[in-house]
Amino acid sequence: MYHYVSVPPADADAIRRDLSISPQKFEEQLKYLKEAGFTSITLHDLMLHLTMGYSLPEKPVILTFDDGYVDNYEFAYELLRKHGFTGTFFLVTAFQDENRPEYMSWDNVVEMHTGGMEFGAHSYNHADLRKQSVDYLVWQILGPREAIEERIEEPVRFFSYPSGAYDDQVVAVLRSAHYWGAITIHQGALHSSEYPFDLQRIRIHGGDSLGMFVDDINYWLYEKQ
């Protein structure tokens, strides 16, 4: 689970620094993953494997990016392609609609999708979706899905809960809107067809050294299971 891929501003607070990985560190991590034999897949690939037994590479990894920051286009996209990886990016589509400079544009989205990147929805405006009416949830869940589909001309099947917060009603609306699954901020690397709306991730911390990154990956992959 990545967020910003850039060097944070000098006055950034601890949260922003934790969410930000420098392009240099990100490239080190990609090089490690490649040398360790990992191959990136998409959430589509994962769900086709879990539900219908499609085969996966021996060491599959899904690289997710929340919020759709413009640095994902400027730095992550190029580095992913350079090292032969694909990424899955979750958009808060109000930010594209408003042309906010700190977020990727619709043109960036189309270019990255053409370049092999996967896109999902991360709500319309990053609101807390818990304890909301069905109408409100449809607006937050179906709206961004349709906006992305209109640009990439392909179905959007995955959702990332804003701030990882959700309840049963959110899952019910996602299911009725024909989403296949959703990713959380629960830590883990073991996925099951029983819990497609509670997919786990490993949080990548901006301050972590490469050694800490490697230890974290191996802990969740091999020790925790």
Residues that bind Zn ion (CB under 5 A): 66-67
Identity of the residue, 67 or 71, whose beta carbon is nearer to Zn ion in the bound complex: 67
Identity of the residue, 27 or 67, whose beta carbon is nearer to Zn ion in the bound complex: 67
CB neighbours of 75 closer than 8 A, spacing ≥ 6?
5, 6, 23, 26
Token pair in block for residue 142: 């179906």
What is the rounded (10 degree) CA torsion for 199, 104, 3, 208? 140
Identity of the residue, 68 or 196, whose beta carbon is nearer to Zn ion in the bound complex: 68
Q: Where are the beta strands (DSSP E) in 2-78?
A: 4-5, 20-21, 39-40, 60-61, 64-67
Query: Which residue in 8, 14, 35, 23 sits closest to 72, CA to CA?
Result: 23
Identity of the residue, 79 or 121, whose beta carbon is nearer to Zn ion in the bound complex: 121
Report how far residue 75's alpha carbon sits from residue 125's, in angstroms, rounded to the nearest whole number.
24
Q: Tell the smallest beta-carbon distance from residue 166 to Zn ion (Å).
A: 13
Q: Tell the smallest beta-carbon distance from residue 39 to Zn ion (Å).
A: 26
Distances (CA, A) of 89 to 22, 44, 100, 121, 131: 17, 13, 17, 8, 26
| Neighbouring-strand partners of residue 67 | 91
Q: Tell the smallest beta-carbon distance from residue 53 to Zn ion (Å).
A: 32
Token pair in block for residue 58: 């021996």
Q: Tell the smallest beta-carbon distance from residue 122 to Zn ion (Å).
A: 6
Report how far residue 54's alpha carbon sits from residue 37's, in angstroms, rounded to the nearest whole number.
20
Identity of the residue, 48 or 185, whose beta carbon is nearer to Zn ion in the bound complex: 185
Q: Tell the smallest beta-carbon distance from residue 84 to Zn ion (Å).
A: 27
Residue nearest Zn ion, Cβ-based: 66
Q: Tell the smallest beta-carbon distance from residue 218 to Zn ion (Å).
A: 26
Identity of the residue, 27 or 66, whose beta carbon is nearer to Zn ion in the bound complex: 66
